[in-house]
Amino acid sequence: MNICLTLRIILFLSLFLFTHQAKTLDPYKVLGVERNASQREIQKAFHKLSLQYHPDKNKDKGAQEKFEEINNAYELLSDDEKRKNYDLYGDEKGSPGFDAGNPGDHGEYTYFTSGGQGHNRFNFRPNEWQNMGGQGRSQSFSFSFGNPTSQGSFGSSLNDFFSMFFGGHPEGGSHFGGFSGSTRSQSGSRSSPRSIRAINSQLFKKEIADQGITWLLLSYTPTLKGNQHYESVIEEVASLLQGAMKVGSINCETELSFCKDLGIYPSKAPRAFIYSYIASESGSLAEYSDDLVVKNLKTFCLDHLPRFSKRVDLSHFEISSGTVERLPRVMLLSTKKNTPVIWRVLSGLYRKRFIFYDAKVHDVSDPSVKKLGVYALPAVVGWLSNGEKQVLKSGISVKDLKSAVHDLSVLLDGFETKNKKSASNQAKKRQTESENKQIPFLTGSNFDALCGETTPVCIIGAFRSSKAREKLESILSTVSQKSLSRRQNSAFGSRDSISYTLLDVTKQPAFLNAFDKSGFKSLDKLLVAYKPRKRKFAAFINKITTEEVERFISSVLNGDVQFSKTRQKPTFNTSGISLFFGKLEEVMTYVTSRMRS
């Protein structure tokens, strides 16, 4: 048998074997999906099969080989470009011609391809086929043979066959004339997740750490088995919770120190972590350790969404219009048994900018709902930092989680801008009032008017230096303009129940002796809350700031400060001339009475 006839036999046998192999490795058939299947259907099929045949779960003979075929099929069909090439040419690289055993004629060249991930190729130039004994017109043939990763596969056997006849190639392929062979890496998976965003230490600090949004993170190294399986499950969970969280992957081979610092380095298999705010206001990593199935991982992610919204009973919830808070407040009213996912997500994103509440209500006929001015559910009610209430949105409709989070974020941003404008106007108003209104100085002539028995509480700012005077005057001027927080059942019902005054202790050194035997001589400045009717007082001798003074006075109004009995009634020193005329009047009175007697 001459060499030409031998080669022709080899070619036709190869084509026969190839046709059989190509059909068994049709990626659509491997995953069990139709050729027009969507990416979501392909992803679900891959997830189901990879879970079924994963070597860690399935110890049956052939499971490893089947698992690798599933990975190869998913790798091809999950890539739009490779899938398009396969659908058109039967090859992910776009080589036209032999599609699943059907040769194609393309001018002077005929190509045969399996659609495999790698390929072995015959190259016959024009006239070479005739010279080898072929008949018909001159043409060039290119035979491409798939190289599946499983042992004993056709690609491997063909390489061995040609190596036996023509000698092996140093790189593992075989060459004879125009024939060349190459092999594909048998890792069984891509070197890194394709569609999940890559995260490094800089991105982690900038976009993840303490930003308020929950992240699902995959840590891996390219050589680990199961990367695609983890990626598939994480992608599906991310699509189900789109808008509530983000996903990322960390290649611990290139980010070694970063992974070790976080404690997430994968040794035997990829690892999944959630960056969560469930434990505190600062984010922290929690590892997922349950079976890697979509349902369980989704539940894990939902359990780790932020919980910064306080659940309240609306029938007992009250915000006084006079209450002043640093941050605006917002409340979600819904019929949900638990805090809705949307509100939990927003409570994380805006945790440093709003105080969050949520309440379960039956319907809009609830009196407490009507009291808030809400006539359709779900609804969001907001309070500016000055206590002013506004219905931000009612009858909220939700198309999907992502759009709902976006729409409510826009709503909160607008309310925050309005609150800043209102706070700015209030500050300017207080400043103007403070500049126009001075705190009076306490004297013997106005003592009864300012700190007499008709005044429930008298706040006295006592000073011994000009610097202390300026400090106290500024603080009391500011505080006196505010409606300080007080309980509803407090005995002090209005701002008029407090009087504010200043005392120059250098001119009235004996005044403070009524409260303390030493007269607080070691202090340059202090505050005294005096209750004239009960002859009780409370002294504030800590560091004096606007915030601390506000807190002290609010505590006084709410009855949270312990008062002590005064040593005597506060009195004022009289000037020398006043004392002289006073004594003279006493003498004259005495003389007159004696004369009459």
Q: Which CATH number fits domain 197-303: 3.40.640.10, 3.40.50.720, 3.40.30.10, 3.90.25.10?
A: 3.40.30.10
Q: In which residue ranges of the chain is pLDDT below 70? A: 1-24, 92-195, 320-325, 430-437, 483-496, 573-597
* Total residue count of the chain as it appears in this document: 597
In what helix (H) or strand (E) does residue 581 lie, and over which residues does it extend?
A: helix 576-596
How far apart are alpha carbons 92 and 157 in whole angstroms? Answer: 22
Pairing of strands 536-540, 109-113: unpaired
State pLDDT tens for residues 178-188. 333 333 333 34
- Return the structure tokens found at 402: 């992502």
State the CATH class of domain 3-181: mainly alpha
How far apart are alpha carbons 230 and 245 in whole angstroms? Answer: 17
Closest to 457 in 3D by CA, of 538, 567, 545, 342: 538
Which residues of the chain does CATH 1.10.287.110 include?
Answer: 3-181
Closest to 533 in 3D by CA, of 580, 569, 586, 587: 569
Fold that domain 447-565 belongs to in CATH = Glutaredoxin (3.40.30)
Task: Tell me how far CA of residue 147 lies from CA of 121, 122, 364, 509, 526, in angstroms.
Answer: 11, 14, 67, 102, 88
39-53 and 63-77 helices, crossing angle to 10°: 160
- How confident is the model at residue 584, as a pLDDT? 57
What does 248-302 look like in DSSP terms, one character per residue? Answer: EEEETTTSHHHHHHHT---SSS-EEEEEE-SSSSS-EEEEE-S---HHHHHHHHH
Assign 455 to helix, strand or coil.
coil
Question: Computed from CA positions of residues 572, 578, 583, 586, in that sequence, does the dihedral angle turn out positive or negative?
Answer: negative
Task: Tell me how far CA of residue 151 lies from CA of 64, 65, 165, in angstroms.
Answer: 11, 8, 21
- How confident is the model at residue 6, as a pLDDT? 58
State pLDDT tens for residues 515-527. 998 889 899 999 9
Which residues of the chain does CATH 3.40.30.10 include?
Answer: 197-303, 320-429, 447-565
State pLDDT tens for residues 386-442. 889 999 999 998 888 999 999 999 999 999 999 999 888 877 776 666 555 688 999
pTM exceeds cut of 0.75: no
DSSP state, residue 548: H
Pairing of strands 271-276, 284-288: antiparallel
- The answer for residues whose C-beta is within 8 angstroms of residue 240's C-beta and 6 or more apart is 294, 298
Q: Which CATH number fits domain 320-429: 3.55.50.30, 3.40.30.10, 3.20.20.410, 2.40.110.10?
A: 3.40.30.10
Other residues' Cβ atoms within 10 Å of the Cβ of residue 267: 8
